[in-house]
A = this chain, B = another copy of it.
Amino acid sequence: MLASWRDGPARRAIEDFVRRTTDPSSPEVIPAEERIVVTDNDGTLWCEKPMPIQLDFLVRRLGVLATADPSLRDQQPYQAAYERDTRWLGAAMVKHYRGDDTDLGLLKAAVTSAFDAVEVEEYDRAVRAFFAEADHPTLGRPYRACGFVPMVELLRYLEAHDFTVYIASGGDRDFMRPIAPELYGVPPERVIGSALGIDYRDGRLLYRAEMDFFDDGPEKPVRIWSRIGRRPVIAIGNANGDLPMLEFAGVGLPALRLVVRHDDAERETADSGGAEELLARAAREGWTVISMKDDWERVFT
């Protein structure tokens, strides 16, 4: 089932953990209902460089707003959106992972006003339309084909051993939900992520012009608990924002912590900006690091 995984320490650590925790005769067996897996999305299940896919969706939306209102064009992030300047946007995320939220603050404000009073079902349709046509800017493939094949295989392998997979992402929950079933086989009720506030009015749910919460860093364990009511036993991430989630996994039970390292300039990217702290911690504590270059036979479909 892990057909795209080469033999190596990562694959062996995964198979060994699954054997130890699911073999009924093992002293470390975990009851099926406790076999909870949480995985980050951006940079873990699909690519996030040169910028998270959701940012491209937002860029297009902000670009439309800046086209309609020229006064927006000399303000960030509308300027970057209007000029399709992806560098400013990608840098904003790296700054965030390094602890500087200045640019992310500008982005958040624009994002929230971009969908003010939009109904949840209308947003769902906009996301589906985006994925039906949008292509990755450098990889030459549709965004809907940017999922990492070995990771999707891993999710199926875990499910075959009665693990239940949740996506726990800093990305917008409702941006992932329309495509998570097709890309990852994960249904909407198992997608955890950042969220806009929502108002209920006369049978309709309308987004507010403010975030409910930003699901990254120490907020990830909080939102995992809120949704699941259990600690995960497997946690998978790739950036500093995933560190608390990995740390949170498996207290009182065995735990497997996986870190995806972007070291494959040829097939994807060798940019680990924003992952320094996580990689250092993984090395210090012996968490399993997955090398895209060494551990994966192929990356994409």
* A contact residues vs B (CB 8 Å cutoff): 33, 120, 173-174, 177, 187-189, 191, 195, 198-201, 203, 205, 212, 218-222, 225-230, 244, 247-248, 251
Structural contact, B222 and A200, CB atoms closer than 8 A:
yes
Q: List 24 A-B contacts (CB under 8 A).
A: A33-B187, A120-B225, A173-B229, A177-B229, A188-B228, A188-B229, A189-B230, A191-B229, A195-B226, A198-B226, A199-B218, A200-B218, A200-B219, A200-B220, A200-B221, A200-B222, A200-B244, A200-B248, A201-B218, A203-B247, A203-B248, A203-B251, A205-B248, A212-B226
Query: Please, which residues of chain B bring their CB within 8 A of the CB of A188?
Result: 228-230
Structural contact, B225 and A189, CB atoms closer than 8 A:
no
Query: Please, which residues of chain B bring their CB within 8 A of the CB of A226?
Result: 173, 195, 198, 212
Structural contact, A229 and B198, CB atoms closer than 8 A:
no
- Output the least CB separation between A91 and chain B (Å): 27
Of all chain B residues, the one with the shortest Cβ separation from A221 is B200
Assembly CA distance A173 to B244 (angstroms): 23
Structural contact, A222 and B251, CB atoms closer than 8 A:
no
Also in contact, A189 and B227, with CB within 8 A (given A244-B200, A248-B200): yes
- Output the least CB separation between A7 and chain B (Å): 33
Assembly CA distance A188 to B248 (angstroms): 18
Query: Please, which residues of chain B bring their CB within 8 A of the CB of A251?
Result: 203
Q: Which of B205, B220, B225 contacts A221 (CB 8 A)?
A: B205
- Output the least CB separation between A259 and chain B (Å): 17
Structural contact, A222 and B205, CB atoms closer than 8 A:
yes
Structural contact, B244 and A222, CB atoms closer than 8 A:
no
Query: Please, which residues of chain B bring their CB within 8 A of the CB of A225?
Result: 120, 198, 205
Query: Please, which residues of chain B bring their CB within 8 A of the CB of A201?
Result: 218
- Output the least CB separation between A235 and chain B (Å): 12
Query: Please, which residues of chain B bring their CB within 8 A of the CB of A189?
Result: 227-230
Query: Please, which residues of chain B bring their CB within 8 A of the CB of A218?
Result: 199-201
Query: 4 extra interchain contacts, Cβ-Cβ under 8 A, other than A200-B244, A200-B248?
Result: A174-B229, A198-B225, A203-B247, A203-B248
Assembly CA distance A225 to B173 (angstroms): 11
Query: Please, which residues of chain B bring their CB within 8 A of the CB of A198?
Result: 222, 225-226
Query: Please, which residues of chain B bring their CB within 8 A of the CB of A219?
Result: 200
Assembly CA distance A247 to B201 (angstroms): 10
- Output the least CB separation between A121 and chain B (Å): 8
Of all chain B residues, the one with the shortest Cβ separation from A247 is B203
Query: Please, which residues of chain B bring their CB within 8 A of the CB of A187?
Result: 33
Assembly CA distance A248 to B205 (angstroms): 9
Assembly CA distance A15 to B247 (angstroms): 48
